[in-house]
Structure 1
Amino acid sequence: MTTNDITPVILCGGSGTRLWPVSRKSFPKQFIDLIGEGSLFQQSSKRLSGSGFAEPIVVTNSDFRFIATQQLHDAGITPNTVLIEPEARNTAPALLAAALVAAQKDPAQLMLAAPSDHYITQADVFCDNVRRGVAAAQAGQIVTFGITPDKPETGYGYLELGEGSVHGAMPLKRFVEKPVLAEAQRMLDAGGYLWNAGIFMYAAQTMVDAFAAHAPEMLAHVQAAVDSAEPDLGFLRLDPDAWTKCEDISVDFAIMEKVSNLSVIAHDGDWSDMGGWNAVHLHAEKDADGVALQGRTHAVECKDTLLRSESGAVQLVGLGLENIVAVAMPDAVLVADRSRTSTLGNVVKQMRAAAVPQADNFPKDHRPWGFFETLILSDSFQVKRIVVNPGAALSLQSHEHRSEHWIVVVGTAKVTVGPDRDNLDVKMVHQNESVYIPLHAIHRMENPGDTPMELIEVQTGSYLGEDDIVRYEDVYSRGQGAKG
Structure 2
Amino acid sequence: MKIDFRPIILAGGSGTRFWPRSRKARAKQVLALDGERTMIQRTVDRLAPLASPEDVWVITNDLLSGTICGQLDVVPDEHVVCEPAARNTAPAVGLAAFLIEKLNPEAVIGIFPADHVIGNQPEFIRVIEQAVNLAAAGENMVVLGVTPTRPETGYGYIETGEKIGEGVARVRRFTEKPNQERAEEFLAAGNYHWNSGIFIWSARTIANAIREHLPETAPLLEKIANAYGTPEFREVFAALYPQCENISVDYAVLEPRSAKGESRSSLYCLPANFGWNDLGSWAALFEHSHEIKANLDEHGNVTEASGSLAIEAHDNYVYTPQKFVALVGVKDLVVVETEDAVLITSRHHSQDVGKVVKELAAQGRKDLI
TM-score after normalising by structure 2: 0.90
2:144–2:198 CA contact under 8 A, matched in 1: yes
CA deviation after TM superposition for structure 1 residue 37, in Å: 3.4
User: In the alignment, is residue 303 of structure 1 matched against residue 314 of structure 2?
Assistant: yes
1:96–1:208 CA contact under 8 A, matched in 2: yes
**Cα distance between partner residues in 2 of 1:27 and 1:240:** 22
CA deviation after TM superposition for structure 1 residue 229, in Å: 3.5
Alpha-carbon distance change, 5 to 226 in structure 1, aligned in 2, over 3 angstroms: closer
Unaligned runs of 5+ residues in structure 1 are: 361-484
1:191-206 correspondence runs (5 A): 191-206=190-205
**Cα distance between partner residues in 2 of 1:354 and 1:191:** 46
Q: Deviations over 1:41-69 (max 9, x none)?
A: 11111111134556201111122111111
1:152–1:181 CA contact under 8 A, matched in 2: yes
**Cα distance between partner residues in 2 of 1:343 and 1:214:** 33
Unaligned runs of 5+ residues in structure 2 are: 258-264
- In structure 1, what is the equivalent of residue 300 of structure 2? 290
Q: Which of 277, 289, 297 is the aligned partner of 1:272?
A: 277
Please state whether the residue corresponding to 2:143 is helix, strand or coil: strand
Give the number of the structure whose residues are more often helix, by fraction.
2
Q: Which of 39, 58, 81 is the aligned partner of 1:83?
A: 81
- In structure 2, what is the equivalent of residue 21 of structure 1? 20
Alpha-carbon distance change, 237 to 169 in structure 1, aligned in 2, over 3 angstroms: farther
CA deviation after TM superposition for structure 1 residue 77, in Å: 4.6
**Cα distance between partner residues in 1 of 2:331 and 2:111:** 39
Q: Which amino acid aligns with 1:254?
A: A
1:297–1:309 CA contact under 8 A, matched in 2: no
**Cα distance between partner residues in 1 of 2:330 and 2:155:** 29
CA deviation after TM superposition for structure 1 residue 203, in Å: 0.5
Q: Which of 339, 343, 347 is the aligned partner of 1:330?
A: 339
1:81–1:236 CA contact under 8 A, matched in 2: no
**Cα distance between partner residues in 1 of 2:49 and 2:358:** 40
CA deviation after TM superposition for structure 1 residue 238, in Å: 5.9
2:5–2:50 CA contact under 8 A, matched in 1: no
Alpha-carbon distance change, 130 to 148 in structure 1, aligned in 2, over 3 angstroms: same
Q: Deviations over 1:83-121 (max 9, x none)?
A: 221111111111111111111111000110011011112
1:324–1:338 CA contact under 8 A, matched in 2: yes
**Cα distance between partner residues in 1 of 2:239 and 2:182:** 44
Q: Which of 91, 112, 120 is the aligned partner of 1:114?
A: 112
Deviates most, 198-207 or 209-218: 209-218
Q: Deviations over 1:288-344 (max 9, x none)?
A: 31111113241322200011114x3x3333222200011111111111111111111
1:47-126 correspondence runs (5 A): 47-52=46-51, 55-73=55-73, 76-78=74-76, 81-126=79-124
**Cα distance between partner residues in 2 of 1:160 and 1:304:** 34
Q: CA RMSD in A?
A: 2.1
**Cα distance between partner residues in 1 of 2:51 and 2:22:** 32
User: In the alignment, is residue 160 of structure 1 matched against residue 159 of structure 2?
Assistant: yes
CA deviation after TM superposition for structure 1 residue 3, in Å: 4.3
- In structure 2, what is the equivalent of residue 174 of structure 1? 173
**Cα distance between partner residues in 1 of 2:167 and 2:189:** 23
Q: Which amino acid aligns with 1:31?
A: V
- In structure 1, what is the equivalent of residue 135 of structure 2? 137
**Cα distance between partner residues in 2 of 1:4 and 1:167:** 20
Q: Deviations over 1:21-52 (max 9, x none)?
A: 11111211000011133111111111111345
Q: Deviations over 1:229-254 (max 9, x none)?
A: 3568xx97862111121011111111
CA deviation after TM superposition for structure 1 residue 134, in Å: 2.3
- In structure 2, what is the equivalent of residue 263 of structure 1? 268
CA deviation after TM superposition for structure 1 residue 199, in Å: 0.8
**Cα distance between partner residues in 2 of 1:282 and 1:71:** 27
Alpha-carbon distance change, 167 to 152 in structure 1, aligned in 2, over 3 angstroms: closer
Alpha-carbon distance change, 10 to 231 in structure 1, aligned in 2, over 3 angstroms: farther
**Cα distance between partner residues in 2 of 1:183 and 1:212:** 33
**Cα distance between partner residues in 1 of 2:355 and 2:207:** 36
**Cα distance between partner residues in 1 of 2:205 and 2:234:** 23
How many percent identity over aligned positions?
33
1:294–1:309 CA contact under 8 A, matched in 2: yes
- In structure 2, what is the equivalent of residue 149 of structure 1? 148
Deviates most, 46-55 or 199-208: 46-55
Please state whether the residue corresponding to 1:111 is helix, strand or coil: strand
**Cα distance between partner residues in 2 of 1:163 and 1:193:** 13
Q: Deviations over 1:250-283 (max 9, x none)?
A: 1111111112221111111211111100011011
1:230–1:236 CA contact under 8 A, matched in 2: no
CA deviation after TM superposition for structure 1 residue 173, in Å: 0.4
Rg (Cα) greater in structure: 1
Alpha-carbon distance change, 280 to 168 in structure 1, aligned in 2, over 3 angstroms: closer
**Cα distance between partner residues in 2 of 1:134 and 1:49:** 15
Give the number of the structure whose residues are more often strand, by fraction.
1
2:4–2:106 CA contact under 8 A, matched in 1: no
Deviates most, 236-245 or 182-191: 236-245
**Cα distance between partner residues in 2 of 1:46 and 1:254:** 30
CA deviation after TM superposition for structure 1 residue 356, in Å: 2.5
1:145–1:196 CA contact under 8 A, matched in 2: yes
Alpha-carbon distance change, 49 to 5 in structure 1, aligned in 2, over 3 angstroms: farther
**Cα distance between partner residues in 1 of 2:2 and 2:65:** 28
